[in-house]
A and B are shown apart, each in its own frame.
Chain A
Amino acid sequence: MSYKCVVLVKQVPDTKRITGQAMNADGTVNRAALPAIFNPEDLNALELALQIKDRFGGHVTVMTMGLPAASEVLRQALYRGADEAILITDRRCAASDTLATSYILNCAVRKLDYDIVLCGRQAIDGDTAQVGPQAAEKLGIAQITYVEELLDLKGDMITAKRNIGNGWQEVRAKLPILLTVIDEANEPRVASAKRMMKYKKARTPAELADKSGTKILEEKGLLIKQWDLDFLDADLRWCGRDGSPTKVHRIQSVVLTAKETKDVVPTQEALNAMVHELIVDHTIG
């Protein structure tokens, strides 16, 4: 039996490489100064989907919601082995919180025939880990979060090992299902040079200067589908700002500084004095 997998991915600012220019003076984030990358754990989710396809056969669709520039992560997924890519982009998606995002993704996944939906545990910009379980609930399917190993797929039953923080759990469930995948699950494959040569020309219709090129790209299998909220038949009350119960009250940039820093030279005498000070103020001893 082969399996149809849908992988939900996100293009994120590389929060691990934040430098001085990344924060504006008013404490807001200067997104332009941050490189946009494939959310790391979504690569683990893609890898798991590709492994399922390698072992059992099937089809891997990769999907993202974002600005038109997010098509870059879709191309990267095609380089690694995804069969099909879909960009959900619409100005009315702006300011969606996790609830609105999961509603929109759910509308899109419902357009497809699927057995397994996969996504990374969390994205490194928000670190919420909420969109996966919320999308599962909206789709009316079960979820297996924190998947660290796929143990078996037989017929319409999946067995997986999940990390539960202070231990592990092996669970079995019926398809369709949504999995959130952690970085310990696998080592994502690198882009294949051959696929890169082919798919570097993959484009969304919006990325084409000449719309008549759409048909040619489609014939060559190089068209990245682009869906908007009208195509998804989405109820706008649940999308974007209106569909988001959570609002930002305030943003502050983090400036962590100690009140007073003492320089201690690395000599035995100076270290003895420091230890003495810590004993006197009851920090140690």
Chain B
Amino acid sequence: MIEVNTAGEVWVFAEQHAGTLEDTPIELMSKGRELADILKVPLAAVMLGDSCRDLVDLLAHYGADKVYLAEHPLLEHYQATSYAKVINDLIHKHKPQIVLYGATPCGRDLAPRVASAVKAGLTADCTDLQIGNHEVTKTGKVYENLLFQIRPAFGGNIIATIINFDRWPQMATVREGVMPMPEPDTHRKAKVIKEKVTLSQEDLALEILRQQRQERKVNLKASRIIVAGGAGVGSRENFKQIWDLAHCLGGAPGATRAAVDLGFIDRDHQVGQTGTTVRPSLYIAAGISGAIQHQAGMSESQKIIAINNDPDAPIFNIAHYKILGDLNEVVPKMIKAIKEKV
């Protein structure tokens, strides 16, 4: 751990693979910018890789004041041990007060390894971050300008605000899709600090034999309208109705974990705590009872239409439009209404 250092910077881990920046660090830039401005400290991106310098400008456009660039041939492919070693060294060298990572599979592999090495705290899967004060009830001591790390726990049934007032840096992983993407400002420039990296083959614990990254078949995060189906849709064949309604609205088809587990649709379409978090203009939930785990991924939608034949379905509690009825009758009628009106 490092000492409490209120002049320390705010850092965002700039996750990139093969020269492409992930969405999450860009989303984190907007929140990181906000935190850094409140704390009146610089916002820095930390990027590791091999010849990824081209991404520096992009990080500047999205809000970074500084970019710590650690380039080395052995950092070409991400792996936990080598990346954690480099970040651990950088944290000890520059003493940031906050370090944020995307809660991507990579971020969730890396951040705990770093936290353990630094012996600092880490809060997983935050959905919001704020700056605030904390008073210790027993002693009355007030810690000012701490990072409030806000996350759902207990399967989404509670929202916990976590703090770390003595063993810094304050670190958190942040869920994909919960922070809005900032608008790039192409005039912004960042100061680049090249970091010397000393790594040997022994620092690479894994030998990566083969890998495949495919584009997600659907980009739920970017969809203004999502039509999602749950177990109540009944079958993969019947899920066609969800696709049809999504198509005529220009939206994307989504699903609950139950529908995915039942094989109605691919996992790429899953919305919820273990899937994608979405905040579309319109979310249509058909045959979805509304388990808290699902609600955790869509309750921020601006408008929610729920179609269910169970009057007690919890989804109705958060719906703006409540349609009590059989989705097999309602969905075709909605398609008809849209085709005739639009």
Contacts of A171 in B (CB 8 A): 206-209
Q: Are A127 and B273 in contact (CB under 8 A)?
A: yes
Which of B42-50, B162-170, B193-201 is near enough to bind chain A? B162-170
Interface contact B115-A284, CB-CB below 8 Å? no
B86 at the A interface (CB under 8 A): no
Contact B105–A256 (Cβ < 8 Å) = no
Q: Number of residues in B with C-beta < 8 Å to the partner?
A: 90
CA gap between A97 and B330 in the complex, in Å: 48
Measured CB to CB, the closest approach of chain A to B334, in angstroms, equals 5
Asked if residues A163 and B105 are in contact (CB atoms below 8 Å), the reply is: yes
Q: Which residues of chain B (319-342) have a CB below 8 Å from chain A?
A: 319-326, 329-330, 333-334, 336-338, 340-342
Asked if B326 and A251 sit within 8 Å, CB to CB, the answer is no
Q: Counting chain B CB atoms within 10 Å of each CB, which of A163, A169, A253 scores highest? A: A169
Give chain A nearest CB distance to B27 CB in angstroms.
15
* A250 at the binding interface (Cβ < 8 Å): yes
Determine if A142 is an interface residue (Cβ-Cβ < 8 Å).
Answer: yes
Complex interface: chain B residues within 8 A of A279 (CB): 341-342
CB distance from A108 to the nearest CB of B (A): 16
Q: How far is B318's CA from A256's CA once the two chains are assembled, in angstroms?
A: 6
- Name the residue of chain A whose CB is nearest to the CB of B327: A266
Whether A102 is near chain B, meaning CB under 8 Å from some CB there, is yes
How far, in angstroms, from A106 to B160 measured CA to CA in the complex?
Answer: 27
Q: Is B282 an interface residue, CB under 8 A from the partner? A: yes
Pair B113/A136 contact, Cβ less than 8 Å = yes
Which of B60-68, B182-190, B211-219 forms part of the interface with chain A? B211-219
User: Which size bracket describes the interface of A in this complex?
Assistant: 35 or more
Looking at the assembled complex, report how far the CB atom of A285 sits from the nearest CB atom of chain B, in whole angstroms.
5
Contact A18 B154 (CB under 8 A): yes
Q: Is B1 an interface residue (CB 8 A)?
A: yes
Q: How far is the CB of A193 from chain B (nearest CB, A)?
A: 28
Chain B residues with Cβ below 8 Å from A275 are 334, 337-338, 341
Cβ 8 A contact of A126, one of B113, B117, B124, B209: B124
Q: Tell me which of A133, A159, A165, A260 contacts B112 (CB under 8 A).
A: A133
In the bound complex, CA of A227 to CA of B125 (Å): 32
- Determine the chain B residues whose CB is within 8 A of the CB of A142 once the complex forms: 80-81, 205-206
On chain A, the residues within 8 Å of B153 by CB distance are: 125-127
Proximity string of chain B (133-163) to chain A, C-beta cutoff 8 Å, 1 when within and 0 when not: 0100000000000101100111111111111
A260 surroundings in chain B (CB, below 8 A)? 320
Decide yes or no whether A137 CB sits under 8 A from chain B.
yes
Complex Cα gap A268–B332 (Å): 10
Q: Contact check: which of B113, B157, B316 meets A134 at CB < 8 Å?
A: B113
Which residues of chain B from 278 to 330 have a CB within 8 Å of any chain A CB?
Answer: 281-282, 291-293, 295, 299, 302-305, 316-326, 329-330
List the B side residues contacting A2 at CB < 8 Å. Answer: none
Report Cα–Cα, A251/B319, bound state, in Å.
Answer: 25
Q: Is A32 an interface residue (CB 8 A)?
A: no
Nearest opposing residue in chain B for A97, CB measure: B121
- A164's nearest neighbour on chain B, judged by CB, is B105
Which residues of A are found within 8 Å of B320, using beta-carbon distances?
258-262
A5 to B80, CA, bound (A): 22
Contacts of A263 in B (CB 8 A): 322, 324
| CB 8 Å contact bits of A21-40 with B (1 = contact, 0 = none) | 01100011100000000000
Pairs of residues from A and B, 10 with the lowest C-beta to C-beta distance, nearest first: A15-B155, A245-B121, A142-B205, A266-B325, A137-B116, A128-B124, A245-B167, A167-B213, A133-B112, A246-B121
Binding site for A on B (CB under 8 A): 1, 80-81, 84, 104-106, 108-109, 111-113, 115-117, 119-125, 132, 134, 146, 148-149, 152-167, 205-216, 225, 249, 273, 281-282, 291-293, 295, 299, 302-305, 316-326, 329-330, 333-334, 336-338, 340-342
